[in-house]
Amino acid sequence: MRTNIIRHETMMVSYDVVNGWTVVEVDGDVDAHTAPMIREGVIKLVDEGHRHFVLDLGFVTFMDSMGLGVIVAITKRIREHEGSLRIASVSGRLLKIFDLSGMRESYEIYPSTAEAAQSAPSSGSLAHWPHRSSS
């Protein structure tokens, strides 16, 4: 059952648990105004005991450097709790941002959330982050 955790005029964030993964879906703009809300929302989920995340960016219409920064910030927090993070449904435009920033090789990026959550998570996959992606 999908649960909304953030509602903003230009962005909404919801999550669901699939096969042991907390799938966080971001819908809208990820910028200087919304990135801190996303960070706080994911930190709250980590504090509630969620450890393994799929960040679904399929409905992200815009992302700036603050958006990339929030991904790094939540990665660090998840890593501190021996969790894991996969990124899914990234548009070609966003992939280009990941490429230009050098972040693409540090994350496991999947074409869809279904593929990202297909196998059950294993603890500590961020132990050596940043690392080269195996996908």
pLDDT by residue (tens digit) across 4-18? 988 888 899 999 999
Is a pLDDT exceeding 50 seen at residue 133? Answer: no
**Integer Cα distance of 41 and 27 in angstroms:** 14
Share of residues in the chain with pLDDT > 70 (%): 90
What is the predicted pLDDT for the residue at 135? Answer: 43
**Integer Cα distance of 35 and 38 in angstroms:** 5
Query: Which amino acid belongs to residue 86?
Result: R
DSSP state of 104: G
Mean pLDDT over the full length of the chain: 89
pLDDT bucket at 129, cuts 50 / 70 / 90: low
Q: Which residue stretches of 2-132 are H helix?
A: 35-47, 65-80, 92-101, 113-116
What is the predicted pLDDT for the residue at 6? Answer: 87
Share of residues in the chain with pLDDT > 90 (%): 76
Phi and psi angles of residue 7, each rounded to the nearest 5 degrees, phi first = -130, 125
Is the pTM above the cut of 0.85? Answer: yes
Is a pLDDT exceeding 90 seen at residue 130? Answer: no
| Region 45-56 average pLDDT | 96
What is the predicted pLDDT for the residue at 123? Answer: 62
Contact present, 109 and 90 (Cβ < 8 Å):
yes
Contact present, 43 and 73 (Cβ < 8 Å):
no
Contact present, 55 and 24 (Cβ < 8 Å):
yes
